[in-house]
Amino acid sequence: MAESRVPRARRFLVCEPRHFAVQYAINPWMHPDTPVDVDLAQEQWQELIRAYRSHGHAVEAVEPVPGLPDMVFAANAAFVVGGRVFGSLFHAPERRPESVHYDTWFKSAGYDVYRPESVTEGEGDLVWTGRYVLAGTGFRTTREAHREAQEFLGHPVIGLTLVDPYFYHLDTALFVLDGGHEENIVYYPEAFSPGSREVLKRLYPDAVLATRDDAMAFGLNSVSDGRHVFIAPKAEALAERLADHGYVPVPVDLSEFHKAGGGIKCCTQEIR
């Protein structure tokens, strides 16, 4: 079955972890007294970039800024569909300056950037499936931002409520395997409210279901190109299930970034 899965070349925006650190706590994973190995973080991040490029994906970079240790988590900075850039307004004051630098990059690349009035954290909580925008709320992005995104993007936005603080962004609890006519997802059901679980069950009856162990290993913070799934190595059981469904797991260790509650997808903004 794996041979029938066709990858699609992607364009990713990233930010080098030159200034990465855990200097404050804005999610349950973050403990400022835990030291960060910046050299190891650099090595792991470079390995992710090599993995993307070796599988045919284009990678561009925003220049990191001193004093913004979470700027490496590029996914949170914007949500891009059809060349439209829906910017971010971070929940935590510590991260709000990041938006300016990402907006500048997009504008210099010729994009118009929409500045949201409501708290929203880019691809952290907005996930493009090929037909819909799945939109997380409960900890960061607000429902008002969902409405703003639908008005600006012109695509249906489906709100989903997150209930477990360890999975504070949608991209820690769900990712898209395939877009278009073969649209399918992977998700951890217990990260969502009962009503949101019902919505996902109706929309994706053939979804791959993940366990809490998968999610705690950052297995849901993965990136798929339709064939290859760039996934945390410790999410072994999930990788095996994906292989059974015809996908090719590509393990990439970003464990140093787990100390800040981030992983592969957090470090990856897709430009569509």
Q: Name the catalytic one among 146, 169, 228, 258.
A: 169
Distance CA 230, CA 223 (A): 5
Give the whole-angstrom CA distance, residue 223 versus residue 229.
Answer: 6
CB 161 within 8 A of CB 195: yes
Q: Which helix (H) or strand (E) holds 99?
A: helix 96-108
Alpha-carbon distance values, 80 to 103, 209, 210, 219, 220 (Å): 12, 26, 27, 23, 20
State how beta strands 174-178 and 157-161 pair: unpaired
The catalytic position among 15, 91, 266, 267 is: 266
Asked if 55 is an active-site residue, the reply is no
Taken as a whole, the chain contains a residue count of 272
Catalytic: 258?
Answer: no
User: Which residues are marked as active site?
Assistant: 169, 266
